Structure formats: C-alpha cells, structure tokens
Chains A and B, each alone.
Chain A
Amino acid sequence: MSDLRELYQEIILDHNKQPRNFGRLEDARRADGHNPLCGDQITVYLKMNGDIIEDARFEGAGCAISKASASMMTEAVKGHTVDEVEGLFEGFHRMVTSEPGMLPDVEKLGKLAAFSGVCEFPARVKCASLAWHTLRAAIEEAKTPVSTE
C-alpha cells in the first residue's frame, strides 16, 4: 500500500480528475503520441515564441499516471525555453527510470517530483513519459519550417 500511495500521490490524483490545460489549441503545433501497450493516446499542442514555449495544452485518453503527467507537464514547461524543457525532461526521465532506492536529486523538478514513485513500477514508466515524448515531437515539428502544403 505504501508503494501505491507513492505512485498515486494526491497531486497526481488531482490532476487526473481535473487535468489542467486540457483541450485543443488553435493555430498551434501539434504532435500525437500513443502507447500501444495500454491504448493511451495523447495530442500535445504548442505555441512557440521563438525559442520559448508560450502555451501548451493537451487532449487524449489514458490512465491516471499518463493524464496527470501530461497535465503537470503543460504547467511546468510554459514560459521556458526549449533547452530548459529538454533539461527538465532529462531529469524527469532519470527519476522515473531510476533503480529502486537510487532516486537522483529531484529538487530541480519541482512539482514533477511527485512522479518519483513511478520508478517502483517499471510497467508504468511509459505512462509517465508518453506526454514528454509527444511534447518533444511537437517541439521538433515547431522547429521545422512551415511547409506550404
């Protein structure tokens, strides 16, 4: 039960029930992500101002971990540069994939440290990181010049 409480922390349950920044963003860059293992599907929308993520939203269906992760990610990345976000993702990824009992310093991750319990549940790592992989794809797309098609 203690491991479960570590996984399903209050803040995660709250974001699962009331996801922030949920819904489409018009005239935005987007990327779709899905986790074929469990059927989670997510779309991330981004508005960029040069190198800075001005706005981020998401929509989709998934488990509590994937939904809360997407919700908290959109809050965490707003107003940050692409490089900063990349650093955040690296830290997040290191945290959720760490060996049990070998948790790295997660202070820099702020609220995202709530996902530290995921490392005890290897089957759920993909749930937690799906939104981040999708965000990265949306950033890549945003970097690409607009095509005329």
Chain B
Amino acid sequence: MVGTREDVRGTAGAAPALDVERVRADFPLLARTVRGKPLVYLDNAATTQKPRVVIETLLRYYEYGNANIHRGVHLLSQTATEQYERARRTVQRLFNAERPHEVIFTRGTTEAINLVAASFGRRFVGAGDEIVLTEMEHHSNIVPWQMLCEQVGARIRVAPIDDRGALQMDAFEVLLNERTRLVSVVHVSNALGTVNPIARICELAHAAGAKVMVDGAQAAPHLQPDVRALGCDFYALSGHKLFGPTGIGALWGREELLDAMPPWQGGGDMIEQVTFERTTYNTLPAKFEAGTPHIAGAIGLGTAIEFVESIGYPAIAAHEQDLIAFATTAIGEVPGVRITGTAPGKASVLSFVMQDVHPHDIGTILDSEGVAIRTGHHCCQPLMRRLGVPATARASFALYNTRAEVDAFIRALGKVREVMS
C-alpha cells in the first residue's frame, strides 16, 4: 500500500518530502512558454535547467571576480583561485573522495573518458589486452576505447543486456579474464534509465585484476556518486546534467592511478620545469589541467552541487521515483505505446516507441504542445540495434517536474494519434 503524504512523513528514515513548487521557483526558465503553451521540460537527460543561484554565480564571477587563476599575485587572481579550488573540494565532497587532488576538472564526461583512454590507456593497455563495455553504452563510452584499441592493438568485449535493458551479470562475469585491463560502464543508462550494479561490477572486475571506469553523466542528477561506496577507480560526470553550466565536468580517479598515468594534454599549468630539451610535470591535479580552465564553469558547478545538497539526494530520488511510477502507469494506458527499458529500479527515464508513428514525429507534435522530449538514437546506436528500433522517444524527469506535467505529456501523446491518423 502506498501511504499518504502524512504517513510517509511519519515513517522513520523516510526521505523528506520535496516541495516541488518551491524548487520550481528557483529555476527561472521553467516559467516561460513555448509555442504559446506553458513549457513542460522533459529533456533532462540531455541537459538540465539551471537554478537562479548558479546563474547568479556566473554573473557575479564575470561582473566582479573575473581573473586567471594560479600564480597571480594580485587579489582578483587569488580570490578566483580560492573559488576554483573550493569548487574542487565541493566536487570532492559529492564524490565522497579522500583527496581534493583526485578531482580533475574537464569539459565534461566525454572529455573525462577521453582523458582516461588516452592516459591510462597509453600507460596500462597494450596489444592483446581487453576492455569490457556493455551494450547500453553511450557513444562517448565506446569511441574513445575504439580509438585506443586501434592505437595499441587491444580489443573491446561487450557485455550483453536482457530484453528489459538490465545488464546480464553472468555474461559480464564470463568476459572478465587476465587480459581485461579496464571495465568502462555507464552508471545510469541515458537511453533506458537502467541503473547498473556498479559495486558488484567493481568486485568482479577487481577480482580479475581490472580497473573500473564509471560514466556517471546520467547518474549524478539522481543519486550520489559515492566513489568509496561504489569501489570504482574512475568516475566521470558532467556539470550541465547536474544543474550546472555546460562545458564543465569532473573526473575522479584514484591517486595512485592518476600519479602513474602520463599527462594527456601539454600546456600551461601542467608543468613544473620547461626547457626546450625536457619538461617535468606538475603534480595532481594540475598535471591533467593544461591551459586556462573553465573557471566560471567550475565555480558554477560547485554552486550547483551545493544546490543539490540543499535538497538532498534522498528527497530527489523519492520525488523522481514517484514521477516515473506515475508516468509509467499513465503511458501504459495510451494505445500502441511500448516502453523500452523496464529494468527494475531504473532511474526517471521513460523511453518508448509508438506503433506506426516514428519518434521524430512524436517529438515535433509534442513540441507544438510545449512538451520538450528527445527523440532519436540518444547516441546509443548499438543499443538501438540491440532493441531492434531505429530510434525511441524519451521523456526524462528531474527534481523540478510535476505530476501535472506528466498529465500534460500524456495529453500531448493523445494529440499525436489525432494528427497522424
């Protein structure tokens, strides 16, 4: 039995309720209309909207605090450096990581994976070695490894999923062997919402002597990427999917691994001594942050994380689980709709296909009703092939979405039939 709100509040250990109207008031963009209708923004797996505090942080930085960081003797540079490094400690706290210098700022998850592929790959992956991926990976967690494999003569093994979109753990385990150098796996699938059992994956991979990289782009808005609890070796996330700015993200890596890895980009800040004959490299994290970074972005990401912390992951998860359950029931009553991705415990991603209507047409018609969803292959072409569909339509929910918006989305789906028949 589902309890009433009062019941839930009265239960010890239950998540505190999230006041969604108050949360919505923090996001200026949500108040706008689209094509004359109130915006229903359900494309959160692509990018999330930004709370006012994040927007104001960026504004304040550029209006009042802008300077280049590190080695500056003037006040502005020192303050910018402090803010930048404070943001690093905020990301460290999100990761529950032991040391701030295990956090490397990147442009996003894609760049973080490329960093590990280029640097860890160059140092630890050789001819005949194997990298294990899964069928549900985003192109950004496939292509960097293919590029590495081409360079060093390693090969990719792919762990299968079942028809619900859950990873087949038995088949995964069989792929692990003494040639496995790395398992790189998505935490939460952007196309299906599947939440992978990262802790178990890490146990199995470590038992085989392999390291584990986690693509957390889609996970971080829904659940805390606690790297100590997960037991992984690398974890990557993107700021813009976590209510922060675009162009900023973070990689966490174990210190001993990052120390053993060569730099991947050369330039300012990542050096200790440079002569034309020889360069020695800076220590962590600067070794992996060549050039002037996205300072405002990093500070903005810090603010975004503080915003998420102020609401709390348990409240966010409870709210999103309510929405996905509500939406799943509601869409089940729309004729001809089939949900793709029904793994137990999945995150708030609702991917679906509609009989005789291509997802692209669904997207256009929903847009005319002010409902923003994503359609296409979601940068997961191998997964689409596995599911036997050219594309899907995807509604993805965030902490600021409401049941009323789910209703509007379902009503708009009714319009699709109306227009297309």
Contacts of B384 in A (CB 8 A): 39
Cβ of A13 under 8 Å from chain B: yes
Q: Shortest beta-carbon distance, A17 to chain B, in Å?
A: 8
| Docked CA distance A123–B381 (Å) | 20
Q: Quick one: CB contact mask for A64-92 with B, threshold 8 Å, 1 for yes?
A: 11010000000000000000000000000
Q: Which of B340-348, B356-364, B401-409 is near enough to bind chain A?
A: B356-364
Q: Shortest beta-carbon distance, A73 to chain B, in Å?
A: 18
Q: Which of B364-381 contact A (CB under 8 A)?
A: 364-365, 368, 375-377, 381
Q: Which of B322-368 contact A (CB under 8 A)?
A: 356-361, 364-365, 368
**Residues of A that sit less than 8 Å from B by CB:** 1, 3-5, 7-8, 13, 16-17, 36-41, 61-65, 67, 121, 123-124, 127
- The tally of CB-CB contacts under 8 A between chains A and B is 55
Contacts of B356 in A (CB 8 A): 17
A8 and B358 within 8 A (CB): no
Q: Shortest beta-carbon distance, A89 to chain B, in Å?
A: 22
Q: Shortest beta-carbon distance, A125 to chain B, in Å?
A: 12
Contacts of A5 in B (CB 8 A): 419
Q: Shortest beta-carbon distance, A134 to chain B, in Å?
A: 16
| Docked CA distance A5–B360 (Å) | 16
Contacts of B361 in A (CB 8 A): 8, 63-65
| Docked CA distance A7–B368 (Å) | 11
Q: Given A8-B420, A62-B358, A64-B358, are A124 and B364 neighbors across the interface (CB < 8 Å)? A: yes
Q: Shortest beta-carbon distance, B183 to chain A, in Å?
A: 28
Q: Shortest beta-carbon distance, A85 to chain B, in Å?
A: 26
Q: Shortest beta-carbon distance, B282 to chain A, in Å?
A: 40
Q: Pick the 8 closest A-B CB pairs, nearest first.
A: A63-B358, A39-B390, A63-B360, A39-B391, A38-B360, A64-B361, A38-B376, A4-B368
| Docked CA distance A39–B360 (Å) | 9
Contacts of A63 in B (CB 8 A): 358-361
